Structure 1
Amino acid sequence: MNDPTQPTGPAAGHDDAGDGLLSVVGPWDGRVIFTAVHAGHDLRPEVRDLMILDEAARWREEDPHTERLGAGLESGMVMHRSRFEVDLNRPRDTSVYLEPDDSWGLDVWAGGRLPEEVAERSRQVHDAWYAELERRLSVMSERGPFVVFDLHSYNHRRDGPESDPAPAEDNPDVNIGTGPLDREPWDPVVEAFTRSLSAEVIPATGERLDVRENVRFWGQNESRWTHRLFPDTACVLALEFKKTFMDEWTGALDEEHLGQLAAALARTVPAVTAALEEVEVPTP
């Protein structure tokens, strides 16, 4: 039997958790952390052997470099495994893409469907991520309200490498997903974050960031899971960065642009931390 916790690929050498699945970054002693659930590209051998989806298509649907968007924050968690092995932003039961209907119509597996025994081992990766996250967020929750930047990226040139970008009115530079958030108690935090990031002018484009809430994305499993476990202390902002910092078809990265976005995100932390003081936590 293949062990889904065994390291695969170059990312395993950077793993702080000791099992090749994920990295834990920083001291986790502040009030704002990041997660990058779709940053990974690794596959364990039995999954790689069954996959027929080509490398370029897989890269395009993953969220490469999102862990680097969080590089200016002191603390976070990064998943090294590809979402095509297990999608942490879906509930456990649907976290593995078994057939094309689960993965935007893409043909992923030899034979058309992933065997159930392989899928169950992939779900153990899902278990491992959330066990580690729960352990760490429990400590944060004991100290008071906290914020998770749930970092993602999204494609905006779906019609092909030569296509025009999707219309800006429906595709903000940063989409803040707050669908699973009980919005009213956290208004000060969401508003402080939005004001801070919206004020940023990115030198690579010369334009102010277009930051809007729930335009394309609303937040998914990690956000729902966190708010369910820590309803009074957790505020998850699911942040989707439009892939303006890279060519989504070739994978070519604009290092300068990416670094500027990471710096802009880091500069929101003081405003977000100050806004947390306005959040009233119910007394047990």
Structure 2
Amino acid sequence: MGGTSDVVTFEGSWAGPVVATSVHAGHGLRAEIADAMVLDEATRLREEDPFTDRIAAVVADRVVTTRSRFEADLNRPRREAIYRRPDDCWGLDVWHGGELSDELVEGSRATYDAFYDALAPRLDALAERGPFVLLDVHSYNHRRDGADAPPAPVADNPEVNVGTASIDRERFGPLVDRFVAELGATELGPGSVDARENVAFEGRQLAWWVHDRYPGAGCVLALEFKKTFMDEWTGEVDDEALDRARASLAATMPGLVEELEKLR
């Protein structure tokens, strides 16, 4: 069940009950957006989620997006999805003249709409077969004070933040509990994974949209991997650390499938 467009590609057969996304992994821009941008590439990369597509790839059935969140943020509500002004994106000066033009905004909204228009029929078919899990894979910075400054406190920055705020806990609670426990039992460096729910992130638009569209069927686990698998200031990846992150997520797959079978 392949399929592609210039915005989104679908990998795998989509026959199973678990799928994955990495909607902030993309770095590409359509030409007119690239021409309007003054933000330097290193800063843009630091605010994107590079290599999360490689983590999500442990799931055979997945959504691949290549456009940057600076063109259209697929994990924000549509009205907030385009970064027009610095206030929309961490105070960053992104565009010539300080603000994105109405014409370019509309083109970026078309990118946003194309993603959800393509995803909807895929998930519609999945939901018709029974409950499913969507693993929404992201990453986050923890050295914002500078490359040589101490990292952010571990107490407020788990290795993996599992966003579950909009999940139907009555329906999916046992699945969520097992997932967090099994992820936390894996090893991601010296010791087991520090996996906690809703510490810094709770899941956003993609989770809201799935849970609203597929009540009782769709369960989105919004995963924020701390960028310990890369240098967030240089963009250099640590392949061994990334492989450990991939292995940790892969280890949860059998449990997810088993819990979904119980719900059928």
Is the structural similarity TM-score above 0.5? yes
Runs of 4+ more than 6 Å apart:
none
- Structure 2 residue 251 is the aligned partner of structure 1 residue 267: yes
Q: Give the distance between the partners of 1:211 and 1:21, measured in 2 at CA.
A: 31
Residue 219, structure 1, aligned to residue 234, structure 2? no
1:251 aligns with 2:232: no
- Give the letter aligned to residue 142 of structure 1: E
Partner in structure 2 of residue 7 of structure 1 = none
Whether 1:198 aligns to 2:180 is: no
TM-fit CA distance, 1:260: 1.5
1:39 partnered with 2:34: no
Distance 1:256 1:189 in 2: 29
TM-score after normalising by structure 2 = 0.97
Contact conserved, 1:188 with 1:279, CA < 8 A, in 2?
no
Which residue in 2 is equivalent to 1:142?
128
Please state if 1:187 is matched with 2:173: yes
AA partner of residue 187 (structure 1)? G
Structure number with higher helix proportion: 2
> Residue 70 of structure 2 contacts residue 83 of structure 2 at CA under 8 Å; is this kept in 1?
yes
1:232 aligns with 2:216: yes
Equivalents in 1 of 2:230, 2:126: separation in Å?
Answer: 34
Alignment of 1:87-166 (within 5 A): 87-166=73-152
Contact in 2 for aligned 1:178/1:213 (Cα 8 Å): yes
Q: Deviations along 1:146-185, whole A, 9 cap, x unmatched? A: 0000000000000001011111111000001011212221
State whether residues 25 and 65 of structure 2, in contact with CA within 8 Å, keep that contact through their aligned partners in structure 1. Answer: yes
Per the TM alignment, residue 72 of structure 1 is displaced from its structure 2 partner at its CA by 1.4
Q: TM-score, normalised by structure 1?
A: 0.90
The amino acid across from 1:118 in the alignment is: L
- Cα distance in 1, alignment partners of residues 254 and 61 from structure 2: 15
The unaligned stretches of length 5 or more in structure 2 are none
Give % identity.
51
RMSD, matched Cα: 1.1
- State the one-letter code of the partner of 1:55: E
